[in-house]
Chain A
Amino acid sequence: MSDFREAQDQAHPNKTNTLMLGIIMLLIGILSIQIWLLYSALNNALDENEDIAIAAFVGSLILFFTGLWLLKYLPDTRRRVNEEEQTGSKYQ
């Protein structure tokens, strides 16, 4: 039975490229939101508005774990895929 990882490794390079680009874009988006959260948390903490700092922290943490989870879908390098194809270690 082929799992997600194998199916992805066999996919056309165009598909892996798109996937890679999509993940990187999402990660950049996550980072931007986190920078904004940190900025507002700092500003509000200085204003003695600590609730916002907690909310921002929780949000930031959730975003970080979303990013980690996204990494699971990063396509393998082509090189490794090729190597495995040549040695025939995986797809027989």
Chain B
Amino acid sequence: MAYEPKEENPPNWKRDFPIRQDEATHISRREFAKFLCLLSGGLALGNGYVVLSSFAFPDKELEGEHFVCNTSDVPVGGMTMFAIQGTREIPYILIHLSEGEWRAFEQKCTHLSCAVVYRDEVKKIECPCHNGWFSADTGEVLQGPPPRSLPQLSVVVRDEKVYVTAFNDTVS
């Protein structure tokens, strides 16, 4: 249906924001082009937000040691889950790879944040959502859609107790 304004010469603001729905279906190409430009401004803003949030509020390193469990709680080849409270609660998994070998990774898959699990049969970490696989040793992506490796924590075992600290490469 062609656009028929009910008033003879409606003012611009009425033409842009009409009350009747049938008048509102008319979008001129001028308006469309302006809308595209608005969207583009929004995207630029979004990009600015990425910059801002990565510089002004960088992710804090984990401070200090956090107690997770006793060594006897997780058998070799086993896995347990724990969370560290911070500004937000981050879920982690603790893996008992082999005798005396422990690993701790964030549980959120880097693809779409599904919960990952350790598969002892293949000694790898699996994300069941889209068949993503990570190395249980380093957290690197082995296969599937995840774009980044799993964030890792260092594990310290002292007096039969397991603690985690921020990951740094010198600690093995």
Binding site for B on A (CB under 8 A): 20, 23-24, 27-28, 30-31, 34-35, 37-38, 41-43, 45-48, 50, 53-54, 56-57, 60-61, 63-64, 67-68, 70-71, 74-75, 77
Query: Does B44 lie within 8 Å of A64, measured CB to CB?
Result: yes
Query: Does B29 lie within 8 Å of A57, measured CB to CB?
Result: no
Residue pairs across A and B with CB atoms within 8 Å: the count is 89
Residues of A within 8 A of B37 (CB): 27, 64, 67-68, 70-71
Can you list 14 residue pairs at the A/B interface with Cβ under 8 Å? A24-B36, A27-B40, A31-B36, A37-B47, A38-B47, A41-B51, A45-B50, A46-B148, A57-B47, A63-B44, A67-B36, A67-B40, A71-B33, A77-B28
Query: Does B44 lie within 8 Å of A60, measured CB to CB?
Result: yes
Query: Does B47 lie within 8 Å of A34, measured CB to CB?
Result: yes
Known A54-B51, A57-B50, A75-B30; further 14 A-B contacts with Cβ < 8 A: A20-B30, A20-B33, A24-B29, A30-B40, A35-B43, A37-B43, A38-B43, A56-B47, A57-B44, A60-B47, A67-B40, A71-B34, A71-B37, A74-B33
Residues of A within 8 A of B28 (CB): 77
Q: Given the complex of chains A and B, what is the CA–CA distance between A37 and B33 in angstroms?
A: 21
In the complex where A35-B43, A43-B147 touch, is A57 in contact with B51 (Cβ < 8 A)?
yes
Residues of A within 8 A of B39 (CB): 31
In the complex where A24-B29, A31-B40 touch, is A41 in contact with B148 (Cβ < 8 A)?
no
